Amino acid sequence: MTTAGNYQLAPIGFIQSSVKKREDAAKQGYEGAPDVWLHVNGQAAAGLEGIFPGDEIILITWFHMSRRDVLAVHPRGDSNNPVTGVFATRSPDRPNPLGLHRVKVLEMKGTSLKVGPLEAIDGTPVVDIKPVLDRSEDG
């Protein structure tokens, strides 16, 4: 078993969105979230090689406005739903507030990608990008 240590993440870019407040964000991208721009930092730009408009990608974000001391929630913020552990929900409040978003690349300009739909708020750090793999791929 591995012992706890000091693990660090550094943003590779940031989201520019019309959504400015957490309470205005859709719960999921397909529930009316806007298209946004992901501005990738220069030192990570070479990692964009091989990404093209039309591709589906996974963005891993850091919910910088989330609470990290929450372990149970009413799913979707609805008190009619029974209290459930955060690991069984998509709540942004959790010990390590990582977001997982499947989006489509709509446009690319230099080191910026227009993607969507994405429910993240303006200024959300992006910590990684991964391709969506077909079940037949092993990359």
pLDDT tens per residue, range 41-50: 999 999 999 9
Residue scoring higher pLDDT (110 or 27): 110
Inside any domain, residue 72: no
Inside any domain, residue 26: yes
The one-character DSSP state at 38 is E
The one-character DSSP state at 52 is -
End-to-end CA distance of the chain: 27
- Reading the block at residue 118, the tokens are 């994405």
Domain containing residue 18: CATH number = 2.40.30.70
Inside any domain, residue 83: no
Burial of 122 (0-12, 13-18, 19+ CB in 10 A): middle
What does the chain come to in residues?
A: 139
Inside any domain, residue 88: no
Domain limits for position 30: 13-66+96-131
Closest to 95 in 3D by CA, of 2, 7, 1, 10: 7
pLDDT band at 130 (very low <50, low <70, confident <90, very high): very high
Work out how many domains the chain is built from and give that number: 1
Inside any domain, residue 112: yes
Taking 3-state DSSP, the helix, strand and coil percentages for the chain, each rounded to the nearest 5, stand at: 15, 30, 55
Inside any domain, residue 127: yes
Inside any domain, residue 136: no
- Reading the block at residue 8, the tokens are 């660090």
Residue scoring higher pLDDT (76 or 38): 38
Write the CA distances from 77 to 15, 63, 89, 124, 130, integer angstroms.
Answer: 24, 17, 11, 21, 29
Residues 80-119 have pLDDT tens digits of 999 999 999 988 889 999 999 999 999 999 999 999 999 8
pLDDT band at 27 (very low <50, low <70, confident <90, very high): low
pLDDT band at 31 (very low <50, low <70, confident <90, very high): low
Mean pLDDT, residues 28-53 taken together: 91
State the chain's mean pLDDT as an integer: 90
Closest to 119 in 3D by CA, of 81, 76, 70, 55: 76
